[in-house]
Amino acid sequence: MREIRAGLADVARRAGVSPATASRVLSGSGPASAASRAAVLAAAGQLGYQPHPVARRLARGTGTRVVFAVRDDRADILLDPFVTRATAAMAAALDPYDIGVSLRRIGLECAADLEDLAADRGLAAVVLAGHDRALLSCLPSGLRGRTAAIGAGGADVDSAAGVGALLTHLYAAGRRRIALVAGPSWLASSAPPVAVYTELTRAAEMPTRVVRGDFTSDKGRTAARAILDRWPDTDAIASVSDATALGVLQTLADAGVRVPDDVAVTGFDDIPLAGAAHPALSTATHPVEQIAAAAARAALGEAAPIALFPSTPVFRATA
Amino acid sequence: MREIRAGLADVARRAGVSPATASRVLSGSGPASAASRAAVLAAAGQLGYQPHPVARRLARGTGTRVVFAVRDDRADILLDPFVTRATAAMAAALDPYDIGVSLRRIGLECAADLEDLAADRGLAAVVLAGHDRALLSCLPSGLRGRTAAIGAGGADVDSAAGVGALLTHLYAAGRRRIALVAGPSWLASSAPPVAVYTELTRAAEMPTRVVRGDFTSDKGRTAARAILDRWPDTDAIASVSDATALGVLQTLADAGVRVPDDVAVTGFDDIPLAGAAHPALSTATHPVEQIAAAAARAALGEAAPIALFPSTPVFRATA
DNA sequence: CTGTTAGCGCCTTCAT
DNA sequence: ATGAAGGCGCTAACAG
């Protein structure tokens, strides 16, 4: 059925126009009369023409893949569920564009890494995560215009709203000594939840009890222990990650603290297993896949680079 | 510092050889005298030469990305942790090869989808998951030699060994009415665990109680309910997925069944949250990342296409 | 072992 | 609006 692959020249010949005209029509850009446009389109259809993605990108000088660069100093960060979910979402979202995704960790001091990225002519664009305030504003010139960020300053969840709703709920339920397990301080996205938390505790004249975590359940365990030691009268622990909250729950259970009777607990992300925990975790949603897809498209210039995605609270048993 | 990008021609000129010779040296293939090899390498180093991945692949006729094609009929399968972990692992493993990863779902009846893949000239290779017995042996000719599979017949975890160890442990602990929540029957990888289970129950003259699941915790909940209804004297439930096992635990807790006193529970995968469950889940390891990376390299012809990765039991509180 | 000569398949000035 | 021609950067077949 299918003989040799039809190329642009074949389409042009069949449509009775030059390859240049066929190219203009099929690549969407450039002028063409209605007549030749129709002829080219018809010929392409009949021949089942499909452009060669690699040739196209070589000629255009654009690359064929997007690198998801995750800035972190932990070697195993690429195993983090946030990273894997985002990577997969981008890999699915960019499939129709004939663009593949690569995943790479870059260090906290990443100037050299960014230069490497800028030097790679195979790259179509870069998606950055784990950045801090300064990074985005001093990208290598080769990356400008083809870089998007996930997190503060880029495509991000409205964590202030999500965490805010959870904290408000805790307050309304009578909790007055609420501790927060926040994200690492070097991460730009850690700031908004801390800000709403601080605002609330100030306004309500509650003590401010912030412990830094890193979104892992390990850190949740140690953070809970620290909170119990340092502020034994704490009656609620809010975390900015479900994994962390599950670690918190574990430590509380081991310590014989009843949840939510003695201490209420909230997470963030609404991972599938949040509802399967005992007791079921109260949390707020985090549309990671949508955010990642939006960032990937933004990096390609197909979407707005900066967008805030809603987070809504999900109340289950722990708060 | 960096003027215009150095190309192969620049390297050749500087080394005093022809572009062809430079190409032979730098692309690793083809003969070259020690002298010219050294000269080319030196020139390349001085010029900071880096090959243009896209041009290289166009000339070679190989594609620039690998598609991870997941065969399943559930629309949300691409959100499955197994899929996201595998995708990310491939995206990281193929980064050094200048190859990106795309993620795509294909239907159970996927002949047409496979033809699409074979027709895409931008593709370097395909990694397949969710296949059944027949699929691998009747791939489109265009995909032969550049396809690898994750699961039975490709790169896979030794689930027979892992599940076997868990079952043996249950038996040794005195469990005599063990139920199995298996994978879907259309999936090739579902077979080995069922085989070891059946072998054990036969040999030990225990009842055979198999319920089909789909690796989700939802299915774990309904499966546990079905088991409780149908075989109320069951004293152990083994699942082939941790998520499923967590669902089982939930249903058992709701039903007032004590774990492990009344019913022992085991999972499979050893996901990070397995240890954070209450009670902590006994399970067996599943090196998804290694498997996915191996499959991706195999698809590119850089590794053996078929390999079995070890699974070791992890005993915690539920069994 | 090496250099020359064609491509790979498409895009894009540049005239017309 | 269109066609001709050159280029994107590298590789592979073919002589030598």
Token pair of A264 as six digits: 């209420």
Q: Is the CB of A13 under 7 A from strand C?
A: no
Does residue A26 contact residue A44 with C-beta atoms inside 8 Å? yes
Does residue A235 contact residue A210 with C-beta atoms inside 8 Å? no
pLDDT confidence bin for A74, thresholds 50/70/90: very high
Interface contact A252, partner B, CB < 8 A: no
pLDDT confidence bin for B135, thresholds 50/70/90: confident
Token pair of A238 as six digits: 């809010």
DSSP annotation of A174 reads: T
Kindly report, residue by residue over B68-119, the tens digit of the pLDDT.
999 999 999 999 999 999 999 999 999 999 999 999 999 999 999 999 999 9
Average pLDDT over residues A266-273: 95
Cβ–Cβ gap B54/A50 under 8 Å: no
Q: Which domains does chain A have, with CATH numbers?
A: 8-51 (1.10.260.40), 65-155+292-298 (3.40.50.2300), 157-287+309-314 (3.40.50.2300)
Backbone φ/ψ region at A122: left (φ over 0), alpha (ψ -120 to 50), beta: alpha
Which position has the token pair 């868990």? B166
Average pLDDT over residues A148-167: 97
Asked whether residue B3 carries a pLDDT value surpassing 60, the answer given is no
- A163 vs chain B: nearest CA distance in angstroms? 22
CA angle (B154 as vertex; B148, B159 as ends), nearest 5? 145
Residue B12 burial (CB count, 10 A): 23
Bigger pLDDT: B181 vs A31: B181
Token pair of A234 as six digits: 């704490």
Does residue A239 contact residue A217 with C-beta atoms inside 8 Å? no
Does residue B311 contact residue B161 with C-beta atoms inside 8 Å? yes
Residue-level pLDDT at A192: 97
Bigger pLDDT: A3 vs B277: B277
Using DSSP, state whether A72 is helix, strand or coil. coil
φ, ψ at A264 (rounded to 5°): -85, 150
The B residues from 176 to 205 touching A (CB cutoff 8 Å) are: none
Kindly report, residue by residue over A288-308, the tens digit of the pLDDT.
999 999 999 999 999 999 999
**Burial of B129 by CB count in 10 Å (0-12 exposed, 13-18 middle, 19+ buried)?**
buried
Interface contact B166, partner A, CB < 8 A: no
Average pLDDT over residues A33-52: 93
Interface test with A, best of B62, B101, B105 (most A CBs within 10 A): B101
Does residue B250 contact residue A276 with C-beta atoms inside 8 Å? yes
Average pLDDT over residues B136-157: 93
Whole-angstrom distance between the N-terminal and C-terminal Cα of chain B?
Answer: 64
C-alpha A93: how far from chain center: 13
Average pLDDT over residues A197-219: 97
Cβ–Cβ gap B88/A66 under 8 Å: no
Interface test with B, best of A3, A102, A215 (most B CBs within 10 A): A102
Q: Which of B179, B281, B177 is nearest to B227 (CA)?
A: B179
Asked whether residue B212 carries a pLDDT value surpassing 70, the answer given is yes
Residues 6+ apart with CB under 8 A from B51: B8, B26, B27
* Distance (Å, whole) CA B99 – CA B93: 9
C-alpha B273: how far from chain center: 19
Instruction: Print burial letters for B39-75: b (CB count within 10 Å at least 16), e (below 16).
Output: bbbebbeebebbbbbbbbbbeeebbbbbbbbbbbeee
In angstroms, the CA of B302 and the C1' of C1 are apart by 28
Asked whether residue B12 carries a pLDDT value surpassing 80, the answer given is yes
Average pLDDT over residues A279-284: 96
Whole-angstrom distance between the N-terminal and C-terminal Cα of chain A?
Answer: 64
Using DSSP, state whether A294 is helix, strand or coil. helix
Alpha carbon of A254 to those of A98, A258, A259, B68, B245: distances in Å?
51, 10, 12, 42, 22
pLDDT confidence bin for A3, thresholds 50/70/90: low
* Nearest residue in chain B measured CA to CA from A95: B102
Residue A191 burial (CB count, 10 A): 17
Does residue B267 contact residue B274 with C-beta atoms inside 8 Å? yes
pLDDT confidence bin for B221, thresholds 50/70/90: very high
In angstroms, the CA of B104 and the C1' of C14 are apart by 43
Which position has the token pair 């209804």? B229
pLDDT confidence bin for B134, thresholds 50/70/90: confident
pLDDT confidence bin for A2, thresholds 50/70/90: very low
What is chain A's length? 319
Residue-level pLDDT at B30: 77
Asked whether residue B147 carries a pLDDT value surpassing 80, the answer given is yes
Q: Which of A301-310, B23-32, B41-50 has the lowest mean pLDDT?
A: B23-32
φ, ψ at A93 (rounded to 5°): -70, -30
In angstroms, the CA of A18 and the C1' of D4 are apart by 9
Residue-level pLDDT at A301: 95
Asked whether residue B8 carries a pLDDT value surpassing 70, the answer given is yes
Residue-level pLDDT at B2: 44
Asked whether residue B1 carries a pLDDT value surpassing 80, the answer given is no
* Distance (Å, whole) CA A148 – CA A135: 12
Token pair of B155 as six digits: 């790169």
